Amino acid sequence: MTQPTSHAAPSLRAAGRIAIETAWQAAIRSGALPPVPPDAVVPTVEVEHPADPSHGDLASNLAMKLARPLRRPPLAIAEAIATELRTSAGDIFASVEVAAPGFLNLRLSDAALERALDVARTADAGFGRLTSDQPRKVDVEFVSANPTGPLTVGNARGAFVGDLLCRVLEAAGQDVTREYYFNDSGAQIEHLGASVAALKRGEPVPEDGYHGAYVEQLASDVPADVWAAATSDGAEADKVLGAWASVRVRHMIEASLERLGVRFDVWKSEASLHDEGWVSRAVERLREGGHVYEADGATWFRSTTFGDDKDRVIHRSDGRPTYFAADIGYVTEKFSRGFDHLIYIWGVDHHGTIARNKNAAQAMGFDPDHYEVLLVGWVRFVMDGVEVSMSKRAGTFVTLDDLLDAVGVDAARWFFASRAAHVAFDFDIEQARAQSADNPVYYVQYAHARICSILRKAAEAGIVPASTFTGTLDGDTVAQGLAREVLRLPEVVEDAAAAQATHGVTAYATGLATVFHGYYRDRRVVDPADPATSAARLALVDAARLALRNTLGLLGISTPEQM
């Protein structure tokens, strides 16, 4: 996986990493530590937040990593770096400790936390967004359901996961294009046209046709001129009506996606890839490279050259191109638009097609590492512990719109965001629908609303947040805890973008809400008798609001000011 080039806005973790790196180098210069021998691997400085708060705010295993190459006990190495940190790291750390078997445990000072809070508040909506000197230009193709019917719950996960990924990458400073690929010609579309034609004529829908209320709606909506064109002499009614209907259906799909808050930058038609010659040129490119041959009357791509199980057909023996042919052309078309990286979001059932596509990209001279497929696992929609039937005949819960009607956009986004994309999971409709504490999304939104309520209360009392955080924490461990959690946001975004996954973001949101609720319990914010303390606490609570707002915003989830 290629790492984004983005660098974090000042995160506390990054500050700790730099401080340790600097101290380590200083210890080498002073002779306290030997340099890493040339034949050994120089370890990277890893900094994490220890699970146990008694281990401090930040911890590093650097000394243990260095023990072998330096041939010294890890505790001695840690002590050397700690000594350097204590003398030259300024006022960033309140304490620097060494713990067995060689951990370096750091505790941040109030001053460091307060400065970071000031920066966060100034950044405002930009807090938690990273910048990049050279943003990676990435194309994310997802959903890409053919316009023969409304989006189904089967399409839902791809739609949410794709958009969530895009949001995370954007927050990490990357240049993201959301792309939807659709088949606007061929058999499926003709079947749709035939179905519409049949209903329009009052005949039954053909065997391989499409059913459902939307088809009837389409039939009754056919404009007179389209119908005339379809039924004129020599016209192919199915094709004409199919073309018209697929555009209508596509707009329907677009409206559903709009409802989820997903908007695509590019809608790419398969036909255009053929019409503009992308497919034939790509096949020619493969042929020139010796990767194409004819057999059994068909044209094949020699995918086995790159380790595939078998070679793959590009043109069938009847001359028609396969879907794979269009994929090949599409890859060249995408790279011609200057993307550094292509991401495809597919269902696990497409896993078998990854190899041939990646191989074709490689055969055409593209770096296969820049062709990435993320698979999304199956979802079972569960109610009362049993799977909800999704059969069209049952009439319930077939479309994506049904799902949104049942649980709402916020809950749907949360549930899809909080699971790793590639694993199968059960979507509990009851829990997602619950307007109560059972529902984690409300739990987090409630924290936000609660803060807004405090802010309103404060305004009534004439209390304004402190203009600077300097001196506001004042050794208060409860306040420090909230500040640390707030300030983790940039790290959470960095990690999410690197992992190309969002479940760390929902976990962070839940944790932040929990820490805030604890603060609310332990510290009264608005106290007219003590305006100075109130102003300090109000500023901190407002910073928590900022972090919650930006986190939920990142997930596309609303932030109500009262509930």
Partner RNA sequence: GCCCUCGUAGCUCAGUGGAUAGAGCAGCCGCCUUCUAAGCGGCCGGUCGCAGGUUCGAUCCCUGCCGAGGGCGCCA
Q: Which CB atom, from 308 or from 340, has the smaller least distance to RNA?
A: 308
Q: Which CB atom, from 53 or from 204, has the smaller least distance to RNA?
A: 53
Q: Which CB atom, from 340 or from 428, has the smaller least distance to RNA?
A: 428
Rounded least distance, CB 148 to RNA, Å: 10
Rounded least distance, CB 232 to RNA, Å: 29
**Side chain identity, residue 353:** T
CA atoms within 13 A on the CB side of 58: 30
Q: Which CB atom, from 186 or from 231, has the smaller least distance to RNA?
A: 186
Helices (H), 222-366: 224-231, 237-260, 270-275, 278-288, 323-336, 354-363
Q: Which CB atom, from 46 or from 221, has the smaller least distance to RNA?
A: 46
The Cα 142–Cα 482 span in angstroms is 37
CB 141 within 8 A of CB 343: yes
Q: Which CB atom, from 76 or from 226, has the smaller least distance to RNA?
A: 76
CB 525 within 8 A of CB 534: yes
Q: Which CB atom, from 200 or from 302, has the smaller least distance to RNA?
A: 302
Rounded least distance, CB 169 to RNA, Å: 17
The Cα 123–Cα 249 span in angstroms is 42
By three-state DSSP, how is residue 349 classified?
helix
HEC secondary structure over 392-456: CCCCCCCEHHHHHHHHCHHHHHHHHHCCCCCCCEEEEHHHHHCCCCCCHHHHHHHHHHHHHHHHH
By three-state DSSP, how is residue 248 classified?
helix
Q: In terms of Cα–Cα distance, which of 544, 479, 440 is closest to 121?
A: 544
Q: In terms of Cα–Cα distance, which of 383, 445, 452, 447 is closest to 410?
A: 445
Q: Which CB atom, from 78 or from 342, has the smaller least distance to RNA?
A: 78
CB 338 within 8 A of CB 137: yes
Q: Torsion angle, CA of 455/459/463/468, rounded to 10 degrees?
A: 50
The Cα 380–Cα 368 span in angstroms is 33
Rounded least distance, CB 312 to RNA, Å: 7
**Side chain identity, residue 367:** D
Rounded least distance, CB 200 to RNA, Å: 26
Give the strand pairing for 371-376 and 341-347.
parallel
The Cα 452–Cα 23 span in angstroms is 42
Helix (H), strand (E) at residue 524: none
Rounded least distance, CB 50 to RNA, Å: 4
Q: Which CB atom, from 298 or from 409, has the smaller least distance to RNA?
A: 298
Rounded least distance, CB 362 to RNA, Å: 17
Q: Which CB atom, from 115 or from 488, has the smaller least distance to RNA?
A: 488
The Cα 473–Cα 219 span in angstroms is 67
Rounded least distance, CB 480 to RNA, Å: 16
Give every CB contact of residue 59 below 8 A, 6+ residues apart in sequence: 47, 48, 49, 50, 103, 104, 105, 106
The Cα 527–Cα 529 span in angstroms is 5
By three-state DSSP, how is residue 347 classified?
strand
Biggest CA-to-CA distance, the chain:
93
Q: Which CB atom, from 223 or from 319, has the smaller least distance to RNA?
A: 319
Q: Which CB atom, from 1 or from 437, has the smaller least distance to RNA?
A: 437
User: What letter does residue 399 receive in the DSSP assignment?
Assistant: B
Contacts 24+ apart (CB under 8 A), 203-206: none
Rounded least distance, CB 413 to RNA, Å: 15
Rounded least distance, CB 450 to RNA, Å: 5
Q: Torsions phi, psi of 316, nearest 5?
A: -65, 170
Rounded least distance, CB 472 to RNA, Å: 16
Q: Which CB atom, from 116 or from 326, has the smaller least distance to RNA?
A: 326
Rounded least distance, CB 537 to RNA, Å: 8
Rounded least distance, CB 99 to RNA, Å: 4
DSSP track, 496-541: HHHHT--HHHHHHHHHHHHHHHHHHHH-----TT-HHHHHHHHHHH
